[in-house]
Every structure is written in structure tokens, then in C-alpha cells.
Amino acid sequence: MIDVIRLMLALFFALFMALPVTAPARAGGDAAGGEARFKDCAACHKLEPGINNVGPSLHAIFTRKAGELADFRYSPAMKRSGIVWTAETLDKFLSDPQGMVPGNRMPYAGMASADDRANLITYLQNATK
Ligand code: HEC
């Protein structure tokens, strides 16, 4: 009888330990998936500070106001948009750049999938620090 209880305890323990492996927690986005999504942006944006390309450096983007870098020539639309970049505003912008900032000069049609955007933003939150 004791052996049966031991066996059951061992089984429960094994199941409990296996759970996080079989059902990975999805708090926010998946940074690894987001790194792959960044291919959409990498042709124009660098993550290093001070390196502008076709688009401005995205370094420290989450603490910046839109159009703030002194050494990048933004469109008037971006400069006067009044946006502060957060996970929320970036999500909205990436879903429809022209819809959120009409007349901006970022030649990117948008990222349709909310999952893809969440993953990309999670990746950027670490990679732009
Ligand atoms: C073909 C080039 C190109 C691609 C691709 C591109 N961008 Fe941009 N991006 C730009 C340009 C140019 C601007 C400046 C727009 C303006 O001034 O109106 C910009 C502006 C931005 C800004 C505002 C920066 C600031 O300093 O206010 C963010 C944020 C941004 N892009 C994120 C992204 C992300 C994330 C992606 C990928 C999903 C992406 N961009 C894809 C060219 C690009």
C-alpha cells in the first residue's frame, strides 16, 4: 500500500515537473520569434546608438519621443505626431504606419499579425536597451 502511494506521488511529481515544458508560458511576446520578425525592419533600422540608415536608429526607442533624434531628417508628420514610443504606441504604428501618422516617410505597409507584432516588440524591448 505504501508503495502504491509512493508511486502515485512520484507520478504526480513527474507530471507537475513536465508541465512547464509541455505548456510554455506566453507572457507577452516571444523574443526569439520577434528576432526573426525584425528582418522586416533591419534593412532600414539599426539597433546601435547613433547609426542612422534609411530609417533612424531604434536604440532606446522605448524612452523616446517620435522624431527626436537630432541627426536624422524626419518627415514633418513624424516630428509633429506627438507620439511617445511605448509597447502600445509602437504596436499601433506597426499595424498601420500611414493610418497612425499620415504623411510619414517610413516605406513600410505594416505588420498585419498581432502575434508577430507582440513578438517583435518583446524582442525590441530587450535589443534596443
Ligand atoms: C524601407 C525602410 C524602412 C523599413 C523597412 C522600416 N522602417 Fe521604420 N522608419 C523608416 C523611416 C524612413 C522612418 C522615418 C519616418 C519619418 O520621418 O516620417 C522610420 C521611422 C520609424 C520609427 C520612428 C522612430 C523615431 O525616432 O521616432 C519607428 C519606431 C520605426 N520606424 C520602427 C520600425 C520597425 C519596428 C520596422 C519593422 C517592422 C520598420 N520601422 C521598418 C524606414 C523604415
With cut-offs at 50, 70 and 90, classify the pLDDT of residue 119: very high
Answer yes or no: is pLDDT of 47 > 70: yes
Report the distance separating Cα 46 and Cα 93, nearest Å: 18
Answer yes or no: is pLDDT of 102 > 70: yes
Pocket test for ligand 1, best of 44, 54, 59, 119 (most atoms within 8 A of CB): 44
Average pLDDT over residues 41-69: 97
| CA–centroid distance, residue 45 to ligand 1 (Å) | 7
Give the chain's domains with CATH numbers.
25-127 (1.10.760.10)
| CA–centroid distance, residue 109 to ligand 1 (Å) | 11
Pocket test for ligand 1, best of 45, 96, 126 (most atoms within 8 A of CB): 45
With cut-offs at 50, 70 and 90, classify the pLDDT of residue 22: very low
What pTM did the predictor assign?
0.84
Q: Which residues line ligand 1 (CB under 6 A)?
A: 40-41, 43-45, 54-56, 61, 64, 66-69, 74-75, 77-78, 85, 90, 94, 104-108, 111
* Four-residue CA torsion sign, 81, 82, 87, 92: negative
> Which atom of ligand 1 is nearest the CA belonging to 41?
37
Burial of 101 (0-12, 13-18, 19+ CB in 10 A): buried
> Which atom of ligand 1 is nearest the CA belonging to 105?
18
Report the distance separating Cα 21 and Cα 125, nearest Å: 25
User: How high does pLDDT run on average in the chain?
Assistant: 89
Answer yes or no: is pLDDT of 10 > 80: no
